[in-house]
């Protein structure tokens, strides 16, 4: 049964998008990360924004819609923490309102072979670090989509995520 959003990670370092969505409960927070990249249209507004500027607009919009979110630092991206008190409906409503600035939804079209390779490396790293049920992304999929119910409440998740984050930025 869903008790609220417990963990979400959206990583957009360079051209890669990683999304971990969660259902269920835990004591940890949710994180959303976003990085730099080429200029994009902000949701059809005609406004050209680089990845960082789009992240700043996204953070501002999320704050205006009730989600505490600091502006990203250049090259570092957005980090958003949720706790169990944050209602999924609130997050969903804010995401809907801010979708025109969401770097994930407004990223470059088509798949990026290097990003796909980093996604596969991240998935393998997660498994190597104790999250055995962490799946590979589907071919052509932009990023990684995970239902926390599918991998369970793995106690190794947070430690593995920290150890594997470098894979998303092209590190080995």
Structure confidence at residue 150 as a pLDDT band (50, 70, 90): confident
Extents of the domains making up the chain: 9-110+141-153
Most trustworthy range by pLDDT among 67-81, 135-149, 151-165: 151-165
Q: pLDDT > 90: what percent of the chain?
A: 15
pLDDT greater than 60 at residue 69: yes
Q: Which two tokens stand for residue 56?
A: 């700043």
Residue 76: per-residue pLDDT? 64
Residue 131: what pLDDT?
92
pTM score, whole prediction: 0.48
- For all residues of the chain together, what is the average pLDDT? 68
Q: How far apart are CA 2 and CA 170, in angstroms?
A: 34
Alpha carbons 163 and 165: distance in angstroms, whole number: 6
- Lowest-confidence segment of 18-22, 99-103, 109-113 by average pLDDT: 18-22
Could you give the maximum distance between any two Cα atoms of the chain, in Å? Answer: 45
* pLDDT band (50, 70, 90) for residue 115: confident
Q: Provide the 3-class DSSP secondary structure of residue 21.
A: strand
């Amino acid at each position: 049964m869903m008790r609220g959003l417990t963990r979400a990670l959206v990583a957009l370092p360079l051209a890669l998008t990683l999304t971990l969505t969660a259902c269920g409960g835990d004591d940890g927070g949710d994180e959303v990360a976003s990085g730099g990249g080429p200029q994009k249209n902000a949701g059809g507004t005609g406004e050209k924004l680089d990845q960082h500027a789009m992240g700043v607009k996204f953070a501002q919009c999320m704050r205006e819609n009730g989600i505490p979110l600091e502006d990203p630092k250049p090259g570092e991206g957005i980090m958003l923490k949720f706790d169990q008190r944050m209602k999924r409906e609130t997050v969903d409503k804010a995401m809907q309102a801010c979708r025109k600035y969401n770097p994930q939804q407004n990223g470059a079209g088509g798949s990026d072979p290097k990003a796909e390779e980093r996604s596969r490396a991240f998935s393998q790293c997660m498994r190597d670090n104790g999250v055995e049920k962490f799946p590979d992304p589907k071919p052509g999929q932009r990023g990684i989509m995970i239902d926390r119910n599918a991998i369970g409440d793995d106690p190794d998740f947070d430690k593995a995520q920290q150890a594997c984050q470098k894979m998303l930025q092209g590190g080995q």
